[in-house]
Amino acid sequence: MGALIGKKVVQLAAVLLVVTFFSFLLIHLLPGDPAATIIPLGTDAQRTQLRKDVGLDKPLVSQYTRWLGKFVRGDFGRYYRQFGGEPVRKRLSQALPVSLQLLVYAEVLALVIAIPLGILAAYRAGTWVDRFLSTGAFASLAIPDFVLALVLIFYLGVKLKWFPVLGYVHFGQSPTEHFKSMFLPAFSLALAQAAVYMRLLRSDMIATLQEDYILMARSQGLPTWRILLRHALRPSSFSLLTVAGISVGTLIGGAIVIEAIFTLPGVGLTIFQAISERQYIAVQACVAVIGCGYVVVNFVVDLLYTALDPRVRHAA
């Protein structure tokens, strides 16, 4: 077990190096002089400052190690403006919790929707319930998240006024308002994921329900719900877990648009704005943080997988 985690940590470190390196390269993929591109309207003194900050005159590898050293210590560079320019870290530390909350809520919501429906569809496989759910899943896959967002905004926000259509409320400020403000964005992101998860769980669950140990559990007179939840769900959820981990990438992509629509001050909106302002140092940092986050999430999923399946745990 320990050796397995050790091996995985080494892999993780290697992937993180690659991810950060490509994020770092972003600046160098810009056409022309990066300093001139990032500061089109500024003074030469500002451009010189930027070159010094980034170390543009040094060889690429030493630039990278320097950048990485700062990145690891939480120094993500800064915005370049005529007056000062705040550290990127300050922006990110405000934006990251918002995005993380959005992603976690979306993921949880997707699973909360998908698991019961997936179980139901598998249990009633081939019946009208199953067909109804499958059709619904197909339909929700076909709706882009931002379209769903707009529809939800119109009906649940503007017409019925059940949920706010924009803005972010801190949890500490009012937990109720916080969840209300996060519901529409999280749901917009979650629905398509829920459809994917549901279909996946359904097919895995149908396979699991054919297993002898399910028959054994039935022959012992266990109630159906107990068989479905305690016997069938866990062995059916391995691929669901893996896909849930991978789809964090999809969610991050969707979150950028969703944050812009709902004016949630998250990383997506920060990137969106940094790109339009040519704050590529900030873009670089955001991309690196998101990339690392994605890699780490999948690392954690890998570990969870081990926790979920004792066979993998003991095989190591």
List interacting residues with other proteins (CB under 8 A): 40-43, 79, 81-86, 91, 94-95, 126, 150, 153-154, 157-158, 161, 164-168, 211-213, 215-224, 226, 230-231, 234-235, 260-263, 265, 269-270, 273, 275-278, 308-311, 314
If the CB atoms of residues 58 and 230 are measured against other proteins, the closer one turns out to be: 230
Cβ 23 vs Cβ 291: under 8 Å: yes
What is the smallest separation between the CB atom of 227 and other proteins, expressed in angstroms? 10
CA angle 10, 15, 21 (to 5 degrees): 130
If the CB atoms of residues 157 and 293 are measured against other proteins, the closer one turns out to be: 157
What is the smallest separation between the CB atom of 94 and other proteins, expressed in angstroms? 6
If the CB atoms of residues 229 and 243 are measured against other proteins, the closer one turns out to be: 229
What is the smallest separation between the CB atom of 100 and other proteins, expressed in angstroms? 15
What is the smallest separation between the CB atom of 269 and other proteins, expressed in angstroms? 5
Tokens of 27: 């600046």
CA-CA-CA-CA torsion sign (188, 114, 161, 97): negative
If the CB atoms of residues 116 and 265 are measured against other proteins, the closer one turns out to be: 265
Between CA 127 and CA 131 the distance in angstroms is: 6
Cβ 137 vs Cβ 198: under 8 Å: yes
Between CA 43 and CA 29 the distance in angstroms is: 23
> Residue 86 carries which DSSP code?
-
3-state secondary structure of 73: coil
If the CB atoms of residues 62 and 82 are measured against other proteins, the closer one turns out to be: 82
3-state secondary structure of 35: helix
What is the smallest separation between the CB atom of 85 and other proteins, expressed in angstroms? 8
What is the smallest separation between the CB atom of 168 and other proteins, expressed in angstroms? 6
If the CB atoms of residues 222 and 296 are measured against other proteins, the closer one turns out to be: 222
Cα-based torsion angle of the residue sequence 138, 156, 150, 269 in order, rounded to the nearest 10 degrees: -110
